[in-house]
Amino acid sequence: MEKILVTSALTYANGPLHIGHVAGSYLNADIFVRYNKLLGNDIIYIGGTDDYGTPISIKAEEEGVKPRVIAERYNKRMKKDLDGLNIQLDNFSGTSRPRHIKVSQDFFTNLLEAGYVNKKTLNQFYDEKHKRFLADRYIEGICPHCKSEGARGDQCDKCGKLIDAMSLIEPRSKISGEKPIIKETTHWYINLPKFEKQLREWLATKKYWKDNVLNFIMSWLNEGLIERAITRDLNWGIPIPLENTKGKVLYVWFDAPIGYISSTMEWAEKKGQPDLWKKYWLDPETKLIHFLGKDNIPFHTIIWPAVLSKQKEPFILPYDVPANEFLNLEGQKMSTSRNWTVWVEDYLKYFDGELLRYVLAANAPETKDSDFTWKDFQNKINNDLNNVLGNLANRTFIFIKKYLNGKVNKTENIDKLFAENLFSSGLNNNTPFYFDNLEDISDIINGIDESYKKYKVRRAVQLILLLTRIGNRYFDIEKPWVTIKKNRSEANETLFFCSELLRRISILFTPIMPEAMKKLRKMMNLADDFEWDDIKKVPESFKIGEVSPLFKKIEDAEIEKQLELLKEGSEIL
RNA sequence: GGCGGCGUAGCUCAGUCGGUUAGAGCAUCGGAAUCAUAAUCCGAGUGUCCGGGGUUCGAGUCCCUGCGCCGCUACCA
């Protein structure tokens, strides 16, 4: 049995959950966790919200409430959204909770005392009206290169050039619109160059990481690590634990990953075993796996391991960081500010969470950015789920009820059938590589197993669909509606095979569609508690219970409605 | 500007170490079947693998170059 600790990147609490979050770091993690639970591994799944930072603080000011109110609101709503998608974290915390504050401050202190933090003084823009230091992004002005208006402090969108905020002409605060003053401030920096050798040695042991992740890291390392500020001047954040440092807080991305630890502590406490978190975080046998979007790679593979390694307690370092790329929407980059996304809350008003799980799994941005379109959503549900899988289940069960008194019995040759090459005629020699060398159904099942292990959810989906196609073909070839008339046992054989195939699919598909598979199993009177190894355990018979369609088709009008809603823009923000 | 990635069928995408006639699903066309939610099954066509050059017995794959798109570029989080 393996011990695994899985995390999804903490989500920024300035809005509810959208499908980009789901595709980037939640669904893939949940599928991996569910698969491992079926295997019987000791696995916990931890996450939460990242509650601090300027955007939340500004939003709070606009609404005239405390930032904590905003963070708590979205934390709650996200939890609900995750529930609606059957994404089951063992704990969903938030970084504004007291425990997290204490742990983060200790982390800072330990790093400082170990000699890896330097203090520096620098000049920065300051908005006097809002009494706030301004991040580069919150300053606007005239670009010093192309002289056009509306350049931000970090970059000019017109000419694309990077800008040193201090060189902006006629700078003004994006928050108040007023001219900012330049003010001296002090910050603490993590001395990353001092970690370089250690990091390179550690990363050399991670050859099994995904290529996109390794590329990203190497580009950082090869540019040369520099010191990086881990504090900010803000009123909404974790105060740094030093004398005379009022208004200085930890930079959110310093404290956010620490949230994985504090969230695990919260989980342990809720379980009534406050030290249980140590069993995971302090045991070198634990595999720590961070699921996240590509934008988070450097934080989790450079800064986070560096910080972890200098604590007093022997924390484990990440075992794997299977980062996903981004999900686009109808061919365009998703953007919350342009309201170009699909909010889970909106989605759930119209469709079942399982359907989104399926579509995002089938089209996950595993190796490169992928595109979500409503038309594709409809196609995948109607074809893959409704027509191919749903119909296989329906025709099998209805047939058994109608012609075989609702029951089929195990046949002698069942193992042989599962070892026969039942699918090759539909494929030619140049099928995708993961279809090659598939001799029989057990090979396909092994392929699915391996795909889940390696976070290759798309491949798992393709192989499961291949199984359902085999079922439909077998049904057509054997023609039980003909054989039933002269040879009852022959029809029994066909239907037992199809039932057994569906039973195996109900296990194989559970990590992706747990509720739909539960429904499928219920129709077959199969138990809810099962494990991965049950795939091989053929029952003596199947008694079919009440039958209803597993899925239903999505009409064109429903899709048109979603496209309209997308154009209008959601109002849930 | 620098670094990295991407560009394959009408669409969404696979293509392992360089190896035979470049693949899947959807869409399209033709056929079969009638157990099933008109759901299924079989068959067929479709390609300047972004352009150009190079290495090689052999290139979608490796190298150079041009074009287009995207990400990162350390103070967005």
A462-CA/B10-C1' distance, Å = 22
Measured CA to CA, the distance from residue A541 to residue A536 in angstroms comes to: 14
Residues in contact with A538: Cβ distance below 8 Å, sequence separation at least 6, in sequence order:
A410, A414, A415, A500
Q: How far is the CA of A302 from the C1' of B64 (A)?
A: 33
Q: Is the CB of A52 under 7 A from strand B?
A: yes
- Which tokens sit at A87? 């994404």
Q: Where are the beta strands (DSSP E) in A105-180?
A: 117-127, 132-133, 139-142, 151-152, 169-173
How deeply is A537 buried, as exposed, middle or buried, from its count of CB atoms within 10 A (0-12, 13-18, 19+)? exposed
A124 touches strand B (CB under 7 A): yes
Give me the CA A219–C1' B2 separation in Å, rounded: 11
Q: What does the alpha-carbon distance between residue A98 and residue A95 come to, in Å, rounded to a whole number?
A: 8
Amino acid letter, A312: K
Name residues 265-324 of chain A with a Cβ under 7 Å from nucleic strand B.
294-296, 299
- Asked whether residue A432 carries a pLDDT value surpassing 50, the answer given is no
Q: Is A517 helix (H, G, I), strand (E, B) or coil?
A: helix
pLDDT of residue A200: 87
- Protein residue closest via CA to C1' of B15: A432
Distance A549 CA to B24 C1' (A): 27
Query: H or E segment at A165?
Result: none
Residue from A290, A221, A366 nearest A47 by CA:
A290
User: How far, in Å, CA of A14 to CA of A51, rounded?
Assistant: 8
Q: Provide the pLDDT for residue A437.
A: 54
- Whether residue A286 contacts residue A4, with contact meaning beta carbons closer than 8 Å, is answered with yes
Q: Where residue A429 falls among pLDDT bands split at 50, 70, 90?
A: very low
- Using C1' positions and the CA of A215, the closest nucleotide is B4
A257 strand B contact, CB < 7 Å: no
Q: Is A54 helix (H, G, I), strand (E, B) or coil?
A: helix
Strand, coil or helix: A207 = coil
pLDDT at A155: 79
State how far the alpha carbon of A257 is from the alpha carbons of A16, A46, A131, A193, A234, in Å: 20, 11, 29, 21, 19
Query: Which H or E run includes A359?
Result: helix A353-362
* Strand B closer than 7 A to residue A242 Cβ: no
**Tens digits of per-residue pLDDT, A199-246?**
888 888 888 888 778 877 877 787 788 888 999 998 899 999 999 998
A103 vs A234: CA distance, rounded Å? 19
What distance in Å separates the CA atoms of residue A162 and residue A138, rounded to the nearest whole number? 15
The gap between A416 CA and B27 C1' (Å) is 37
Cα separation of A14 and A17, whole Å?
Answer: 10
* 3-state SS class at A106: helix
Q: What is the pLDDT of residue A435?
A: 52
- Judge if the beta carbon of A430 is closer than 7 A to nucleic acid strand B: yes
Give mean pLDDT, residues A298-324: 93
Average pLDDT (A133-141) is: 85
According to DSSP, residue A367 is labeled S
Question: Distance (Å) from CA A212 to C1' B58?
Answer: 30
Contact A65, A72 (CB under 8 A): no
Strand B contact with A146 (CB < 7 A) = no
Whether the beta carbon of A229 falls within 7 A of nucleic chain B: the reply is yes
**Alpha carbon of residue A60 to chain centroid:** 27
Tens digits of per-residue pLDDT, A506-562?
999 999 999 999 999 999 999 999 999 999 999 999 999 999 999 999 999 999 999
Residue A393 CA to residue A499 CA, distance in Å, equals 8
Is residue A49's beta carbon less than 7 angstroms from any atom in nucleic acid strand B? Answer: no
Cβ of residue A434 lies below 7 Å from strand B? yes
- Cα A559 to Cα A46, A163, A338, A566, A568: the distances in Å are 34, 43, 21, 11, 14
The residue length of chain A stands at 573
Q: What's the CA–C1' distance between A317 and B75, in Å?
A: 27
Whose CA is nearest the C1' atom of nucleotide B3? A219
Give yes or no for CB of A135 within 7 Å of strand B.
Answer: yes
Strand B–CB A230 distance below 7 A: no
Q: Which residue's alpha carbon is at the shortest distance from the C1' of B23?
A: A431
Kindly tell me the burial class for residue A187, based on how many C-beta atoms sit within 10 Å of its own C-beta (0-12, 13-18, 19 or more).
buried
Estimate in Å the CA A176 to C1' B61 gap, whole number.
54
Q: What is the percent of chain A with per-residue pLDDT over 70, rounded to a whole number? A: 96
Mean of per-residue pLDDT scores for chain A: 90
Distances, alpha carbon A346 to alpha carbons A25, A33, A547, A565, in Å: 20, 26, 30, 10
Strand B and A189 CB separated by under 7 Å: no
A71-129 pLDDT, tens digit per residue, is: 999 999 999 999 999 999 999 999 999 999 999 999 999 999 999 999 999 888 898 88
The answer to whether the beta carbon of residue A11 comes closer than 7 angstroms to any atom of strand B is: no
* DSSP type of residue A68: H
Subset of residues 523-542 in chain A with CB less than 7 angstroms from any atom in strand B: none
Buried b (16+ CB within 10 A) or exposed e, A506-528: bbbbbbbbbebbebbbebbebee
Listed in sequence order, the residues at least 6 apart from A524 whose beta carbon sits closer than 8 Å to its beta carbon are A397, A499, A502, A503, A506, A542, A543, A544, A545
Q: How far is the CA of A388 from the C1' of B11 (A)?
A: 20
Q: Tell which strand B nucleotides have any atom below 7 Å from a protein Cβ.
A: 1-6, 11-16, 21-27, 32-37, 39-43, 70-77
Q: Quote the pLDDT of residue A151.
A: 81
Most confident of A262-271, A297-306, A456-465: A262-271
Tokens of A346: 């909106």
Residue nearest to nucleotide B11 (CA to C1'): A376
Task: Quote the CA–CA distance of A507 and A521 in Å, as a whole number.
Answer: 9
**What is the rounded CA–CA span in Å between residue A15 and residue A22?**
14
> According to the 3-state scheme, what is the secondary structure of A276-305?
HHHHHHCCCCCEEEEECEHHHHHHHHHHHH
Count CB neighbours of A490 within 10 A.
Answer: 16
Whole-angstrom Cα distance, residue A276 to residue A46?
Answer: 14
A475 touches strand B (CB under 7 A): yes
Please check whether strand B approaches the CB of A519 to within 7 Å. Answer: no
Please determine, for residue A365, whether its predicted confidence score (pLDDT) is greater than 80: yes
A482 touches strand B (CB under 7 A): yes
Name the nucleotide with the smallest C1'–CA separation from A403: B35
In angstroms, how far is B20 C1' from A301 CA?
43
Q: Report which residue is nearest nucleotide B27 when distances run from CA to C1'.
A: A379
pLDDT interval class at A291 (50, 70, 90): very high
* Nucleic acid strand B within 7 Å of A215 CB: yes
CA to C1' distance (Å), from A199 to B56? 39
pLDDT over 80 (residue A63): yes
